[in-house]
């Protein structure tokens, strides 16, 4: 989906792990990389997110572990 739409639906801002450093959320849709400021995994809301459901994504902690594409290609 369109990144702008994903950002609008993204639950990261309400997540206990989230650290606000004014970067773009919807980490699952990112082309590459992880968050520059979220370092500690303290819970993840992605399993309940409409973006996750709509895109049929299967991972969590996109902010610290990388996007859906990134994690899908990791070994
Ligand atoms: S699945 Fe996670 S990273 Fe992706 S939009 Fe939803 S809350 Fe944000
Ligand atoms: S990717 Fe998951 S853990 Fe990271 S901020 Fe979003 S909901 Fe929280």
Q: What is the pLDDT of residues 4-15, one digit of tens each?
A: 999 999 999 999
pLDDT at 75: 61
> Which ligand 1 atom sits nearest the alpha carbon of residue 46?
2
Q: Is the CB of 63 under 6 A from ligand 2?
A: yes
Q: What is the pLDDT of residues 29-65, one digit of tens each?
A: 998 889 999 999 999 999 999 999 999 999 999 999 9
Residue nearest to atom 6 of ligand 2 (CA): 12
For residue 43, give its domain range.
3-73
> Which ligand 2 atom sits nearest the alpha carbon of residue 43?
3
- Using CB distances shorter than 6 Å, the residues near ligand 1 are 6, 10-12, 25-28, 45-46, 49, 51-52, 62
- Full-model pTM: 0.95
- On whether the CB atoms of residues 40 and 56 are closer than 8 A, the answer is no
Q: What is the pLDDT of residues 18-35, one digit of tens each?
A: 999 999 999 999 988 899
- On whether the CB atoms of residues 23 and 59 are closer than 8 A, the answer is no
Ligand 1 centroid – CA 47 distance (Å): 8
Q: What's the number of domains the chain is made of?
A: 1
């Amino acid at each position: 989906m369109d990144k702008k739409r994903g950002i609008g639906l993204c639950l990261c801002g309400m997540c206990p792990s989230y650290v606000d450093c004014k970067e773009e959320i919807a980490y699952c849709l990112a082309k590459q990389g992880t968050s520059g400021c979220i370092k500690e995994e303290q819970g993840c809301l992605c399993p309940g997110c409409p973006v996750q459901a709509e895109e049929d994504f299967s991972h969590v902690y996109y902010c610290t572990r990388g996007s859906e594409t990134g994690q899908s290609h990791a070994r």
